[in-house]
Structure 1
Amino acid sequence: MESKRQQKFGRQIQKDLSDIFQKEFRELFGNAMVTVTDVKVSPDLSVARVYLSFLLADDVNQIMYSLSDKNKAIRNALANRIRKQARIIPHLGFYLDDTAAYAAKIEALFEGLVIPPSDGIPSEEL
């Protein structure tokens, strides 16, 4: 369970990273659209796990590799934005958020379900 402080700091990092990705590091993503879906911060605020989702991405693994390669520059850009609000600039870890793909898979499973009709017994009698 995250504290209110962790949640607030995570939301601030999420907002700032979204802005950084749109303005300063646009070339990393090519024509893909990136969404910072969630940021989980450690209790001491020194580590931030950033979950990303991509649309129209050709090679997600290549984008994730380039993000880890540019991690120091991204952290520096984040530091320039939150320098006055935070004492510690967190180390960033980037993770692929595949909940949308997982939800689509589950939805496809539900669509494929064949539910046989009941044998004429009303459910009230059961």
Structure 2
Amino acid sequence: MPRHHHTRNAAPGGSQRQLRVGEAVRHAVAEILMHGNAHDPDLEGHIITVPEVRMSPDLKLATIYVMPLGGRDRDVVLAALERNKKFLRGEIARRVNLKFAPDVRFRIDDRFDEAERIEKLLRTPAVQKDLAADSDED
């Protein structure tokens, strides 16, 4: 009889297994990029951080979030990663012990931009005035 998994109460980042495999894939990709194993001039000229990897529930798809240092040349780096997708998938399969090598897709991690936008909003005079008014009421 098939098991049905309900994701209503699942952790926001996925199951423990998804998180564990995602972290292993993240380490593998970061190591590959750090050592310059991809031999692509567009990748070799950049320091690329890999802040997160999200795995699908069946572990067959890895969404790899990347950010070039300083946010420079995002499109160039993303295109280079796409060009080297087959090589990177093979390297991940070699380094992470899974039944199937996951398909990989790359996304730019825009959390840093969002955090900066919120920080700027918090520093605006209107918000500062509201925060000061709230602290006076206490």
Mapped contact 2:68–2:77 kept (Cα < 8 A): no
**SS of match in other structure, 1:32:** coil
Which residue pairs with 1:91 in the alignment?
103
CA distance in 1, matches of 2:78, 2:92: 18
How do 1:1-126 residues align onto structure 2 when only pairs under 5 Å count?
Answer: 1=11, 2-23=14-35, 24-25=37-38, 27-82=41-96, 85-114=97-126, 115=129, 123=137
Alpha-carbon displacement from aligned partner over 1:14-69 (angstroms, at most 9, x marks no partner): 11110011111364334432111111101111001011122145421011011111
- Give the AA of the match of 1:40: R
Using the size of structure 1 for normalisation, the TM-score is 0.83
Matched positions, count = 119
CA distance in 1, matches of 2:42, 2:27: 18
CA distance in 2, matches of 1:37, 1:57: 13
Mapped contact 1:54–1:60 kept (Cα < 8 A): yes
Using the size of structure 2 for normalisation, the TM-score is 0.76
Relative to structure 1, the CA distance from residue 55 to residue 61 in structure 2 (aligned partners, 3 Å threshold; closer, same or farther) is: same
Larger radius of gyration: 1
Over the aligned positions, Cα root-mean-square deviation in angstroms equals: 2.0
Query: Which sections of structure 1, spanning at least 5 residues, go unmatched?
Result: none
